[in-house]
Structure 1
Amino acid sequence: MTQLPEETRQLLNENRHDSPAFADLVRAGGYKPPEDAMLIDAVTALSMGKNILLKGPTGSGKTRFAETLSHLFHQSMFQINSSVDLDAESLMGFKTLDYEDGKQVIRFVPGPVTNAVKNGTFLYIDEINMAKPETLPLINGVLDYRRTITNPFTEEIITAKQGFGVIAAINEGYVGTVPLNEALKNRFVVIDIPYVQGDQLKQLLQSDSQLQDGTILDLFVRLSGDLIQAVDQGKLSEDAASIRALLDACDLSAMIPPKRAIRRAIADKLEEDREKTLVLTMADTLFG
C-alpha cells in the first residue's frame, strides 16, 4: 500500500475534492482530470496497493495525470518508455565493468524497475502495449499479491518496499501496439482518460501555454473540439487532436499568426495530405 499524505487524505475524506484547496493541489501536479471521479478512483486504487492502467488516446494527458498522482502522493517516480526494443536490461538494469581499489570488478547498475521496487516509489510504464509480449511477464510477480521480483542478472529476489506502486499507460489500436495479454491486464485497475475539453481545456491552455489572449484561446478550444470530432468520425488520426500539439500551437501563436502555428504544430505532423488539408481548413474557418 502507498500512504496518502495527510492534506490529500483529509480533502478526499471530507468530500472536498471540488474545493479550491484541492484544485490548487491538483493544479500544482500539472493536470486536472475532466471528471473528479477519475482522480478519486486513481488515488483510492493506488492507496490500496492496486496498479492502475490509464487508457486513452495519444496526447490526452496520461503522462501528466501520472505526474499529478505522483505529486499528490509526494512520491518520486521512475519511468519506462516502452518500445519493441524494451528488454530485461531496460527494466531491471545491467552489469558493467568498474574499478574498485585498483581492481576490475563487475558492478550491477539498477534499472527503473529495480530502483522503484527497492526504494518504494512509483513506477510509470508509458505505452505499455508497445513492448514485446515476451518481455513484460518478467514483472508479473511484482504486480500481484507477491510483490516480489527476481533479478535475472543477479538472481536476487527483491520484495517491494512500502510505497511501491505501478501506473501504466496504453494507447489501444495505435500503430506498433499489441493487445495486452489477460494475465497482465488483470493485474491493473483501468481508468479511461478522455480528451480535456471546454472550460477545463481553456484553463489548461492559459496555465500551460504562453498564449494569454482570451479570444484566441477560445478559438483554440473550438479548434480542439472540431479536431476531436473529426478523429471520432475517422477523418483524422489521433495525433491531430493531441493536447500536446495544441499547446505547441498556442505557444507559437503568442509570437506568430495562429494559422501558421497550427500548420507547424499540428498539420505538418500528419502523414496524409487530405488530413493536413482538413486541419488547415478548420484553422482557416476559425482564424480567418
Structure 2
Amino acid sequence: MSDAIEQYLIKNEPYYHPVADEVTLYEAAYSARIPMMLKGPTGCGKTRFVEFMAWKLKKPLITVACNEDMTASDLVGRFLLDAQGTRWQDGPLTTAARYGAICYLDEVVEARQDTTVVIHPVTDSRRILPLEKKGELINAHPDFQLVISYNPGYQSLMKDLKQSTKQRFGALDFNYPDHDTETEIVSHESGIDKAISTKLVSIAERARNLKGHGLDEGISTRMLIYAGNLIAKGVEAHAACRVALVRPITDDPDMRDALDAAVATFF
C-alpha cells in the first residue's frame, strides 16, 4: 500500500454498537461499490459508523468536513508553487479514487452545489474522476467508495442535495439509539456506571420531545458522552449536565429552565 494512503488506515477498532442491520447492508453496498448516503441528526453516530466500517473492511478512510467555502479544487486538487516550481497536489477525493480508499464527505449539504457536482462521474457506472486543470482522467481504484452524510433536519430549498446527486447513492437512515442501547454506549464511552448513564439518556429523551417546540435539535448521544466524561472526572452531575447538555443547545431562558428542571428530576 502506498505511503500516501497508509496513514489513513484505522489501526484500532472504533467502538460501535449496531442498532439494526446497518452493518450488513453497508458491507453489501461496499461489495457492490455502491456510493452511500448516511442521513440522521447530528451526534447520532454516523461518523463513528463510517470509521467502524472502514476498520472492519480494512480500507483507508479519508474524511472531509464540508463547508460553504469549499471549492471543487479543495476536493480534487490544485497546482501549488514551491522552491522547485509548480507541482500538482491531489485533493482528498482524488487521493481516495487513485489509491482505493473510502472518501467520507461529512455534512455534504454545507458545500455549494457547484462543488458537489464534481462527484457525479465518480459515483455512477463510469467511476471516473476528470482532473480538468491537469488534463488527467482517473479511473477509480476498484476499492474506492464515496460516502456522504447530512442532517435532513437542517435541509432547505437553498441547502439540499440535487436529485441528480441523491439518486447516485444508496441511503441508510440513522437516529438516536433506543434507551438501553444508548445507555450502553454512553456508559462505555465515558466510563460512568449504567445507573448514571440511564439518567442522562432519560434527560435526552425528554429534550428530544421538545424538538420543533423551542429546540432546533435534541440532545445528541455525543453530548451525553461529554456529560458522562465530566461526571467521570468528578464534576457534580447538575453542573456537568448544565455545561454539556443544556447550555450548548439553547440560549432561551425559559427553555434552559425547562431543561434544568428535567435534569433536576433525575439528579
Asked if 1:168 is matched to 2:184, the reply is: no
Residue number in structure 1 paired with 2:64: 80
Please list, as runs of the form range in 1=range in 2, the aligned pairs for 1:208-219 lying within 5 A after superposition: 208-211=189-192, 213-219=193-199
Please list, as runs of the form range in 1=range in 2, the aligned pairs for 1:142-221 lying within 5 A after superposition: 142-174=122-154, 178-211=159-192, 213-221=193-201
Asked if 1:246 is matched to 2:246, the reply is: no
Residue number in structure 1 paired with 2:51: 67
Amino acid at match of 2:74: S
Superposition deviation, residue 76 in structure 1: 1.0
SS in 1 for 2:58: coil
Please list, as runs of the form range in 1=range in 2, the aligned pairs for 1:225-264 lying within 5 A after superposition: 225-231=205-211, 234-238=213-217, 240-254=218-232, 255-264=234-243
Residue number in structure 1 paired with 2:9: none
Give distance in 1, aligned partners of 2:177 and 2:204: 9
Return the TM-score normalized by structure 1: 0.83
Closer, same or farther: CA 275–153 of 1 in aligned 2, 3 Å: farther
Residue number in structure 2 paired with 1:4: none
Superposition deviation, residue 139 in structure 1: 1.6
SS in 1 for 2:113: coil
Gaps of 5+ in 2: 1-11
Amino acid at match of 1:62: K
Deviations 1:127-173 (A, max 9, x none): 01111111111120001100001113212100101100011101113
Asked if 1:223 is matched to 2:203, the reply is: yes
Give distance in 2, aligned partners of 1:133 and 1:53: 16
Give distance in 2, aligned partners of 1:180 and 1:80: 17
Superposition deviation, residue 228 in structure 1: 2.3
Superposition deviation, residue 270 in structure 1: 2.3
Q: Of 234, 245, 257, which aligns to 1:277?
A: 257
Contact 1:223 1:283 survives alignment (8 Å): yes
Give distance in 1, aligned partners of 2:246 and 2:201: 16
Asked if 1:50 is matched to 2:68, the reply is: no
SS in 1 for 2:33: coil
Residue number in structure 1 paired with 2:100: 120
Give distance in 2, aligned partners of 1:33 and 1:152: 41
Q: Of 19, 22, 25, which aligns to 1:34?
A: 19
Contact 2:184 2:194 survives alignment (8 Å): no
Contact 1:29 1:69 survives alignment (8 Å): no
Give distance in 2, aligned partners of 1:162 and 1:107: 27
Closer, same or farther: CA 44–234 of 1 in aligned 2, 3 Å: farther
Q: After the TM superposition, which segments of 4 or more aligned residues of structure 1 sit over 3 Å from their partners?
A: none
Residue number in structure 1 paired with 2:3: none
Closer, same or farther: CA 234–28 of 1 in aligned 2, 3 Å: farther
Return the TM-score normalized by structure 2: 0.89
Amino acid at match of 1:97: L
SS in 2 for 1:166: strand
Superposition deviation, residue 175 in structure 1: 7.1
Contact 2:41 2:153 survives alignment (8 Å): no
Please list, as runs of the form range in 1=range in 2, the aligned pairs for 1:128-147 lying within 5 A after superposition: 128-147=108-127
Amino acid at match of 1:156: E
SS in 1 for 2:47: helix
Contact 2:227 2:240 survives alignment (8 Å): yes
Gaps of 5+ in 1: 1-26
Amino acid at match of 1:33: P
Contact 2:187 2:228 survives alignment (8 Å): no
Give distance in 2, aligned partners of 1:120 and 1:224: 39
CA RMSD of aligned residues (A): 1.8
